[in-house]
Structure 1
Amino acid sequence: MFNVKNKNFINTQDWSKEELDYVLTLAEDMKRNGWRKTVEGKTLAMLFFNPSLRTRTSFEVAMYQLGGHAITLQPGKDAWGIEIKEGVKMDGDAEEHIKEATNVLSRFCDAIAVRSFPKFQNWDEDKRDSTLATICKWSSKPVINMETIRHPCQELALMMAIRSHFNNRQEKKKFLLTWTYHPKPLNMAVANSAAMISTRYGMNLTILCPKGYDLDKTFIDIASKNAVAYGGKVTVTDDIRLAYSGADFVYAKSWGSLEYYGRWDEEKKIRDGQKHFIVDSDKMKLTNNAFFSHCLPLRRNIKATDEVVDSKNSLIYEEAENRLHTERALLSAILGNNG
């Protein structure tokens, strides 16, 4: 019998399929039948280096419902600014080093959750995920990734929605991850995660993106290995009609170009010419009556039209609600007295 108690949740690839199934099944059961106060007396410290609506709210509510308590800290705002790099002379704005902050929080709390986006200057540095890695290094308590260069909590919410609407028979279904326009370059975390979790559950992944917007090879390779292991396949294309044709699930997300990473003024000229990647009704008509979803927040009539977002096949609110169900299950599994 596997045991995930006190296990870090950094990357779904670090968890076995059986462990992920356990959390998803527990989430589905809690949604149907309710839950017990399995983390009574436990405290979760949440470090938000970046803004949040759904992540902060869902974790705070989940801890409260399970009988625990969540503390939200925003370094540089309501908590001291934190230095991440080791061996540096701290003569800048940061008042506290991550080593001290993490060690102290580990003594106060039962787990630490972290949201820290890339700096969008150098991808070789950003892909190291240094903030999260350093906190994991110094924490004596389990660490949960609330989005860095991956978003494993969003993966759980997405897969819970997929399992529900395909009656847990999502294998071989065509999952379209489509790039969409956004006026700003965005984090690739959700796209990276969608590629990993869809293939982990045997879906046929198609990634639609303009030239120059391919995901990092690391995540394509992971998705490809998942596909081999779980019976799916991976296709990357810039052909809109081909990508949408026969799709069973359309997942929209915008992300910045790795080719122009850190050179965003140059990248913007390319991105501004790709507004036709918007998810609209004409494209959805090419699908197999596909479901549509997005992690939110979503810019209406930029990423997807009102007609698509508000359609009966749109699962945006269900996926968002699933953040609460899956995080409640995750916290119960990691911290629960009977999890």
Structure 2
Amino acid sequence: MADATGLQLSQRHFMNTADLPQQEIQALIDLALSLKHGEVKPSLAGKTLATLFFNPSVRTRVSFATAMFKLGGQALDLSMEGAWSFEFGDGVVMDGATIEHVKEVAPVLSRYCDGLAIRCSELVTKSAASASAGSWQNARQDLVLNSFARYATVPVINMESNVYHPCQGLGDAVTIKEQLGQPQGKKYVLTWAYHPKALPMATPNSQMLAACDLGMNVTLAYPEGWDLDPEIVKMASQRAKQSGGSLQIEHDMDTALEGAHIVCAKSWGALQYYGNWEAEKALRVQHKDWMVTQAKMQHTDNGRLMHCLPVRRNVEVGDDVLDSPTSIVIDEAENRLWAQMALLATLL
């Protein structure tokens, strides 16, 4: 659906930024910045977005609710604690814990609301320990998100799944464009950082794609063994080339940071140990030196520090960076709001 500015997306759902042509991503970025500057005022008066959170959330929950409010619509927060337990399998005899099938939930919510937004990532948890998980092959199917997209009759937005966090990627792209003006050809480093537990790969996947779509020279930095999904890295590399940029991999943080204009710190779990977190932890603790500090930032070209938040201070990033003008993490978090307003105004 086209918004008040005439922007129209080629996809009905927003599942992954890589589903869209790069010119549509750029149009969303430009619309987000125009909204932020008060240059356009699309309206979603009378529209309702249902947000379904299967995981904890702060920025995503509040930014979507605020975005709908600013556009004149409303967001209904349907946390799973207050809903029935849903079933997603086909042909299941529902004589156990699940009460309602997605085949009924999605179309009914579609009758009530103009869009559905889903957050369901099996590794997002408030626990001090890593979340239990099955195989990456199963997680990669994103059963919950794709089931809602299959049975809903209104647009479905991915607020973070096992594989992608496209709203974070879009918000990051807005921030980079805002900070650098013309990102093409500038150096972007996505660096792994130590964390006491295994985290999802969805956010770094989408952050990598965002920088590639901007035509940046992207360096993916991580200790050996912490590779992201090779198919997603290959896709990101192809999109980087399409936009005039590049993608390379580096296993030394100091080398990776040389000449960087943007440094994005993010932890993720090791793909080769997916679900086997005790074995992974024995290796992870050997890389506590993978923390972004002011000393490491000296290798950059007056680089700016980004992080999706929440951030573990003095674990992933040092206070000396987060509390300095180098850090743009608050701007980055704010721009989630404007990016999602652009997305909602266009989709709904």
Give the TM-score band, short-chain normalised.
over 0.9
Identity %: 42
Shift of 1:3: 2.2
Report whether the alignment pairs 1:107 with 2:121: no
Evaluate the alpha carbon distance shift between residue 34 and residue 57 of structure 1 in structure 2; reply closer, same or farther with a 3 A threshold: farther
Report the Cα offset of residue 37 of structure 1.
5.7
CA distance in 1, matches of 2:166, 2:320: 29
Corresponding residue number in structure 1 for 2:193 = 180
1:18 aligns to what? 23
Q: 1:89 aligns with which of 93, 98, 118?
A: 93
1:150 to 164, 171, 176: 164
Q: Distance in 2 between matches of 1:219 and 1:227?
A: 12
Is contact 1:291-1:315 (8 Å) kept? Answer: yes
Query: Partners in 2 of 1:5 and 1:110 — Cα distance?
Result: 18
Q: Could you tell me which of 53, 66, 71 is aligned with 1:48? A: 53
CA contact (8 A) 1:177 1:206 kept: yes
Matched AA of 1:333 = T
Q: Does the residue aligned with 1:38 lie in a helix, a strand or coil?
A: coil
Q: Does 1:131 align with 2:136?
A: no
State the alpha-carbon separation in 2 of the partners of residues 264 and 88 from structure 1. 30
Count of aligned residue pairs for this structure pair: 333
1:176 touches 1:207 (CA, 8 Å); kept in 2? yes
Task: Tell me the secondary structure at the aligned position of residue 213 of structure 1.
Answer: coil
Aligned match of 2:180 = 166
Q: Which of the residues 91, 98, 104 maps onto 2:102?
A: 98
Q: Secondary structure at the match of 2:305?
A: strand
For residue 35 of structure 1, report the CA deviation from its aligned partner. 5.3
1:286 is paired with a residue whose SS is coil
Structure 2 gap ranges (5+) = 1-5, 124-132
Greater alpha carbon shift after TM alignment, 12-21 vs 120-129: 12-21
**Counterparts of 2:148 and 2:325 in 1: how far apart (Å)?**
42
Q: How does 1:230-241 map to 2 (within 5 A)?
A: 230-241=243-254
User: Could you say what secondary structure the match of 1:292 adopts?
Assistant: strand
Query: Residues 37 and 2 of structure 1: is their aligned pair in 2 closer, same or farther, counting only changes over 3 Å?
Result: closer
Distance in 1 of aligned mates of 2:46 and 2:250: 50
Give the 3 Å change call, closer, same or farther, for CA 51–35 of structure 1 in structure 2. farther
**Which deviations, in whole Å up to 9, do the C-alpha atoms of 1:278-332 show, x marking residues without a partner?**
0001110011110101000001001000111111021100010001111111111
Show the 5 A alignment for 1:254-265.
254-265=267-278
C-alpha displacement at 1:20, in angstroms? 1.6
Output the CA distance in 2 between the equivalents of 1:92 and 1:184: 32
Contact residue 195 and residue 219 of structure 1 kept, 8 A? no
| Distance (Å, rounded) in 1 between the aligned partners of 2:261 and 2:96 | 51
Give the corresponding residue for 1:194: 207
Q: Deviations over 1:191-227 (max 9, x none)?
A: 0011111111111111111111100012111111012
TM-score in terms of structure 1 length: 0.95
Deviates more, 1:2-11 or 1:310-319: 2-11
Distance in 2 of aligned mates of 1:131 and 1:298:
27
Residue 27 of structure 1: CA displacement?
A: 1.2
Q: Distance in 2 between matches of 1:136 and 1:106?
A: 11
Instruction: Please give the alpha-carbon distance, in whole angstroms, between the structure 2 residues aligned to 1:90 and 1:33.
Output: 50
Give matches, 1:274-293, under 5 Å. Answer: 274-293=287-306
Kept in 2, the 8 Å contact 1:275–1:302? The answer is yes
